[in-house]
Amino acid sequence: MKAILVHQPGGPEALRLEEVPVPQPGPGQALVKIAASGVNFIDIYFRTGLYKADPPFGIGMEAAGTVEAIGAGVGEVSVGDRVAYAMNRGSYAEYGVIPAWQLVRLPDGVDVNQGAAAMLQGMTAHYLSHSTYPLREGDWCLIHAAAGGAGSLLVQMAKMRGATVIGTTSTAEKAARAKAAGCDHVILYTEKDFDTEVKEITNGRGVDVVYDSVGASTWERSLNSLKKRGLMVSYGNASGPAPAVAPLELNNRGSLFLTRPTLAHHCQDRGELLWRASDVLDWIAAGKLKIHIEKIYPLIEAAQAQTDLASRKTSGKLLLIP
């Protein structure tokens, strides 16, 4: 089968399309014929070496397709099921062997492209809005990169939960998308000091929670945007990792809380996975959650897809088709 492998972390050229054997499922595993694979920022972190893996390693953390074979003891899925998964590396490929407990059946009304697009960013938006800080009516939140893949889904879920949402984007075109996703206010953070704007919008109070996926370049102003005892959720590094912080700094800025969560710790067992995935997929099937698939690339153009994502050109989801 064809698969993208990295032998040496580096630039986009580190992604190499190679011929490798089709893997076989062991006990508790299923072989999935991949129909579409999602492109995520985390794939770039692995490719560049910010996140570590032993080379040669596969790239890509989510996909959707059809179960082609199952190993001993698998009861979660059957051969022929349409399924999707996230947080299992190596999805830039024609096949994947996945622990069966991580596979979710796609409901009627959700096609494989939507399934591949929804899992990682959708469940991330779900845990951020339902678990890390369970938003409620009356809360104010700040969501960076609000037109991005994860950001635009988080905006929609924050609105479902009744929060008032301030989003940030780099361009007017992305601001329009963020508004369409449900943002009550959008700040062009490449043109304005967003912390000053947030304080103005909230009458000096600040927001209850900042969901920050941008990292280095937004860190300071994100902390400035919080109310006293507000929660800083640093969940990504699109501009580089956030700096180290001394506990006393949190005191000085208003007894702030800080967390750095990741999806894998929020889908720890099948029950938690099915809760999040079913919510996301059922909302898509019902038309309550909109997934914008911006571009679909053939697998051989994985490097171009990652380059486009890293260059801030995109809003919404990018997919690879093997």
Instruction: Tell me how far apart the terminal alpha carbons of the chain are, to the nearest angstrom.
Output: 10
Q: Residues 196, 255, 262, 278: which binds ligand NDP (CB under 6 A)?
A: 262
User: Contact 184/163 with Cβ under 8 angstroms?
Assistant: no
CB nearer to ligand NDP: pick between 66 and 131: 131
CB nearer to ligand NDP: pick between 152 and 164: 152
Whole-number Å distance between alpha carbons of 315 and 180:
12
Q: How far is the CB of 145 from ligand NDP (least distance, A)?
A: 4
Binding track over 221-260 against ligand NDP, x by CB under 6 A = --------------xxxxx---------------------
Q: Which residue type occupies 301?
A: E
User: Contact 115/124 with Cβ under 8 angstroms?
Assistant: no
User: Contact 200/190 with Cβ under 8 angstroms?
Assistant: no
Residues 11-50 that bind ligand NDP (CB under 6 A): 40-42
Q: How far is the CB of 270 from ligand NDP (least distance, A)?
A: 19
312 lies in the site for ligand NDP, by CB under 6 A? yes
**Count of C-beta atoms within a 10 Å radius of residue 108:** 7
Q: How far is the CB of 171 from ligand NDP (least distance, A)?
A: 6
213 lies in the site for ligand NDP, by CB under 6 A? yes
263 lies in the site for ligand NDP, by CB under 6 A? yes
Residues 134-173 that bind ligand NDP (CB under 6 A): 145, 147-151, 169-170
Q: Would you tell me which residues interact with ligand NDP (CB under 6 A)?
A: 40-42, 120-121, 124, 145, 147-151, 169-170, 174, 213-214, 217, 235-239, 261-263, 309-310, 312, 314
